[in-house]
């Protein structure tokens, strides 16, 4: 196999400057302890989706347009986790506007711009998660349950269309990588009645890789340096250095000991914090 670190992708200076200034205003607003997050969400999404209606009296607009504008304000919408009986309304209230802003940003024309999107989500994450380390990198269409039950270490990468169901809690160690379309669950339902719910936390250790379309079920502990193969379903713990494959996932391979692995030079992540 070839050693292929990420390459730099320059942006036109005017675009980079515009992005930097816009993101700076959002970071500054969120740093203010008196920030009205719902109003910030509404204003930003209005500017993204319907800037022509920013100063328009809604009564002058067609009813369907008024309904569309209402969706930009998180106070006017409900989302699935709000219906869960174990939600903590006091903890969810301040993160809901930012989760809605994150999700609607991703669905907009801005969402698949990798440079802008990673930096935008990195600004929101520390205000949503229980803890967020440095150089967090999330690509588009990542979804959460509560958000506030997620702990994220340093240099964590979450790829496209990942579900992190932190209902019972998820802890991601340093250097974790979760590939496209993976799912991590921290709640489960009894066979006899879906209303009988258990919420054991999931622990993903340092350096763990969860690969494409894989699923981690509630209560699983993946130890440091473990790996879950593509399409696999982890129903039980995975030991350090093990590679678990299949449904249900079983340890099939072992990574070489650290001293036997190729030694590659350190390289810079072009999307790391500046």
**Percentage of the chain lying above the pLDDT 90 cut:** 96
Beta bridge partners of 222: 204, 238
Rounded to whole angstroms, the Cα distance separating 60 from 272 reads 46
How large is the average pLDDT for residues 22-32? 98
- pLDDT tens digits for range 79-111: 999 999 999 999 999 999 999 999 999 999 999
Residue with tokens 């030694």: 263
Half-sphere exposure (Cβ direction) of 46: Cα atoms closer than 13 Å: 19
Beta bridge partners of 184: 164, 216
Picking from 157, 169, 145, 158, the residue whose alpha carbon sits closest to that of residue 218 is: 169
Rounded to whole angstroms, the Cα distance separating 41 from 50 reads 13
Domains in the chain: ranges and CATH: 17-256 (2.160.10.10)
Q: What is the pLDDT of residue 1?
A: 85
Beta bridge partners of 244: 228, 251
Q: How far is CA 157 from CA 10, 37, 84, in A?
A: 21, 26, 28
Rounded to whole angstroms, the Cα distance separating 118 from 121 reads 5
Rounded to whole angstroms, the Cα distance separating 24 from 22 reads 5
Rounded to whole angstroms, the Cα distance separating 59 from 210 reads 50
- pLDDT tens digits for range 97-152: 999 999 999 999 999 999 999 999 999 999 999 999 999 999 999 999 999 999 99
Of 11-20, 56-65, 165-174, 205-214, the poorest mean pLDDT is in 56-65
**Do the beta carbons of residue 214 and residue 245 sit within 8 Å?**
no
């Amino acid at each position: 196999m070839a050693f292929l670190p990420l390459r730099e992708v320059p942006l036109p200076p005017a675009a980079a400057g515009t992005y930097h200034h816009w993101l700076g205003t959002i970071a500054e607003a969120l740093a203010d302890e008196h920030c009205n997050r719902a109003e910030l969400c509404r204003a930003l999404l209005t500017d993204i989706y319907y800037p022509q209606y920013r100063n328009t009296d809604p009564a002058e607009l067609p009813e369907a347009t008024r309904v569309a504008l209402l969706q930009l304000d998180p106070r006017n919408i409900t989302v699935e986790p709000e219906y869960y009986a174990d939600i903590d309304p006091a903890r969810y209230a301040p993160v809901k506007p930012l989760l809605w802003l994150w999700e609607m940003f991703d669905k907009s024309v801005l969402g698949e711009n990798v440079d802008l999107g990673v930096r935008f989500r990195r600004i929101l994450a520390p205000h949503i998660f229980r803890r967020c380390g440095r150089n967090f990198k999330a690509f588009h269409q990542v979804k959460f349950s509560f958000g506030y039950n997620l702990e994220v270490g340093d240099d964590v990468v979450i790829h496209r269309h990942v579900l992190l169901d932190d209902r019972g809690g998820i802890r991601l160690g340093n250097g974790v990588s979760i590939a496209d379309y993976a799912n991590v669950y921290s709640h489960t339902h009894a066979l006899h009645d879906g209303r009988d719910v258990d919420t054991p936390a999931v622990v993903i250790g340092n350096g763990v890789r969860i690969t494409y379309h894989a699923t981690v079920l509630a209560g699983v502990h993946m130890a440091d340096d473990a790996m879950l193969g593509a399409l696999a379903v982890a129903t039980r713990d995975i030991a350090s250095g093990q590679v678990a494959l299949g449904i249900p996932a079983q340890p099939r391979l072992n990574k070489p000991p650290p001293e036997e692995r190729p030694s590659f030079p350190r390289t810079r992540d072009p999307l790391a914090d500046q």
